[in-house]
């Protein structure tokens, strides 16, 4: 019960900060003319979104970091301040730094797009180099503070120490999820909603694993996303931009790795992965068939748009899918199928 009070406080603070920042940040972005440029390859009806302010992810980045740090420090101060800096506490801070690193990469990309008027922003190679650099530094830091970091759970097989191979796979997973979260940010409210429900599930799992850091961080993530959705739900008054979407991908990864259950990203992050693989399949099929398309448009949320689904319906269906698969992940943890304890 006490942990839930800390979680509620972190979520409420992040929600209030994120929502209030929108009141000031959106007019400021309008004044700076930091508007989104809509690509010609997108659905025609997205053209009316031209000029909507981007970089709105700054709102929840500030809210999540401030809320997490404030409530986690307060929790430590009131319970185990004399115990020193623990591995769990170190993992939370390292994870926040990683997520912020991805947010900075996204900010640079957005800045180039809206200020330098280069619509594609950073090149694909530049993004990947920076993203892998952040992932490698994060994993190195995690391995430094936790001697058992390379030991993870394989469902029905138990704890397995993968050694150096764990770092290779983890770097690929982190960069993959971060970019998948970026691809999910294509219609009003989608990325924020998916991450909100993922955060609720991660908070529940953190509670089961008695990881108060994960509880507070997940709660702050949920609150920050909800505060942003006040401004981003259809019709959006602001977009999160790569600034926000890369940060969200980093946050989800940081929490799951801190809990030592990254295997559950397959369920909790399924919608992210579905979006990413729909693009990969579309490109591969197009090349193999010399011009034919597997989907009407990718990422897959655009396919459903082209099929006549409204943006709100897509957000609701994809969110429900996240809740269902997230509930399965929580059940696996509850029954000890995925649990280091």
User: Tens of pLDDT along 70-88?
Assistant: 998 888 878 765 445 578 8
Chain position carrying tokens 């970089």: 55
| Cα→Cα distances 297→88, 240, 271, 280, 283, Å | 43, 22, 16, 12, 11
> Which residues touch 198 (CB under 8 Å, ≥6 apart)?
252, 268, 269, 322, 326
CA 284 to chain centre: 26
Instruction: Choose among 95, 112, 105, 164: nearest CA to 131.
Output: 105
Distance separating alpha carbons of residues 225 and 247, to the nearest angstrom: 11
pLDDT, one tens digit per residue, over 45-69 is: 555 666 688 899 999 999 999 999 9
pLDDT, one tens digit per residue, over 108-167 is: 999 888 877 666 678 889 999 999 999 999 999 999 999 889 988 777 677 888 899 999
């Amino acid at each position: 019960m006490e942990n839930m009070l800390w979680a509620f406080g972190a979520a409420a603070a992040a929600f209030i900060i994120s929502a209030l920042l929108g009141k000031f940040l959106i007019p400021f972005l309008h004044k700076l003319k930091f508007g989104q440029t809509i690509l010609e390859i997108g659905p025609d009806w997205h053209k009316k979104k031209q000029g909507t302010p981007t970089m709105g992810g700054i709102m929840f980045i500030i809210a999540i970091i401030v809320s997490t740090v404030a409530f986690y420090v307060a929790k430590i101060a009131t319970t185990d301040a004399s115990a020193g800096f623990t591995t769990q506490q170190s993992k939370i801070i390292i994870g926040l730094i990683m997520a912020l690193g991805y947010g900075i990469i996204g900010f640079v990309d957005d800045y180039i797009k809206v200020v330098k008027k280069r619509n594609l922003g950073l090149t694909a190679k530049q993004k990947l180099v920076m993203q892998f650099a952040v992932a490698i530094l994060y994993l190195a830091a995690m391995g430094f503070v936790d001697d058992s970091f390379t030991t993870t759970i394989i469902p029905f097989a138990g704890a397995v120490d993968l050694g150096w191979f764990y770092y290779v796979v983890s770097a690929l997973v982190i960069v993959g999820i971060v970019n998948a979260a970026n691809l999910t940010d294509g219609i009003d409210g989608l990325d924020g909603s998916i991450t909100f429900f993922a955060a609720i599930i991660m908070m529940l799992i953190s509670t089961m694993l008695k990881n108060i850091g994960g509880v507070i961080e997940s709660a702050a993530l949920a609150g920050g996303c909800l505060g942003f959705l006040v401004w981003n739900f259809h019709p959006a008054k602001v977009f999160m931009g790569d600034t926000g979407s890369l940060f969200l991908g980093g946050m989800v990864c940081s929490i799951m790795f801190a809990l030592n259950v990254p295997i559950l990203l397959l369920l909790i992050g399924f919608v992210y992965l579905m979006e990413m693989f729909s693009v990969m399949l579309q490109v591969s099929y197009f090349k193999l068939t010399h011009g034919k398309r597997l989907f009407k448009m990718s990422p897959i949320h655009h396919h459903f748009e082209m099929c006549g689904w409204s943006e709100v319906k897509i957000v609701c269906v994809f969110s429900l899918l996240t809740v269902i698969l997230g509930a399965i992940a929580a059940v696996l943890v509850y029954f000890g199928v995925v649990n280091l304890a």
